[in-house]
Amino acid sequence: MTEVRRAGPRELAVMFGSFFKIGAFTIGGGYAMLPLIEREFVEVRGWVTDEEIVDVFAIAQSLPGVIAINTSIFIGYRVAGVVGALTAAAGMILPSFFSILAIAALLVNVRDNLWVQKAFAGVRAGVTAMILLAGIKLGKAILRNPPAWVIAGLSFLALVGFGLHVIPIILSGGLAGLIIQAIGRARRA
């Protein structure tokens, strides 16, 4: 990633508002937010590039925690250092915090209602489509050469076919990328 910029109060307010809006109006969690984060900060704002956002998503997924919050922290730091990271994280977290407080108070009384259950079933179906879209966009950006396809295919097989945990798969993918890079350099030398 390129160097950290220093943002002023106006840019920090825009960042907070953008992440707050994404956090407030995206149902389904981190993966459902990825296409919105990409659109807002790559296409609309131009604060990160297409390549940078793919790297941010990969790193954010590899770290402990929620991918959307990790992503907001990376982008916030990229735009305005530590203050930007804190601003972006607050913008992403606060809508969920307030929503959960309100829903917890309400849902305790209506969770067995058939209409509420059916509404949540519909929301889950819509969120599934958003997650699929995020996967397709990431795939287009990442799967550009045969080694990437092989790593993705083997990772999918390990996850679905053998039920392996994601941590060794992520570490193996990183190691495979390093080995492929070393082989490529050795051939060029």
Mean pLDDT of 143-163: 93
Residue 2 placed within a domain: no
Residue 51: pLDDT over 70: yes
95 and 18 in one domain? Answer: yes
Mean pLDDT of 171-189: 91
Mean pLDDT of 33-61: 87
**Domain interval for residue 169:** 145-189
pTM of the model: 0.59
Q: How many CA atoms lie within 13 A of 52 on its CB side?
A: 19
82 and 43 in one domain? Answer: yes
Residue type for position 59: I
Give the CA distances from residue 10 to residues 2, 4, 15, 16, 74, in Å, rounded to whole numbers and listed in that order: 22, 17, 9, 10, 19
Q: Which two tokens stand for residue 57?
A: 């998503």
Position 6 scores a pLDDT of 66
CA distance 88 to 118: 34
150 and 78 in one domain? Answer: no
Residue 4 placed within a domain: no
- Report how many helices (DSSP H) and strands (DSSP E) the chain contains, helices first: 7, 0
Mean pLDDT of 147-153: 93
128 and 73 in one domain? Answer: yes
Mean pLDDT of 121-141: 86
Position 23 scores a pLDDT of 86
99 and 30 in one domain? Answer: yes
User: 32 with 137: CB under 8 angstroms?
Assistant: no
34 and 98 in one domain? Answer: yes
Position 76 scores a pLDDT of 92
187 and 116 in one domain? Answer: no
Position 5 scores a pLDDT of 63
Residue 16: pLDDT over 60: yes
Give the CA distances from residue 177 to residues 134, 160, 167, 168, 185, in Å, rounded to whole numbers and listed in that order: 22, 21, 15, 14, 12
Domain count, the chain: 2
Taking only the tens place, the pLDDT of each residue in 83-103 is 999 999 999 999 989 988 888
Taking only the tens place, the pLDDT of each residue in 3-12 is 656 678 888 9
Find the distance separating the first CA and the last CA of the chain, reported in whole Å. 26
**Residue predicted with more confidence, 165 or 3:** 165
Position 2 scores a pLDDT of 54
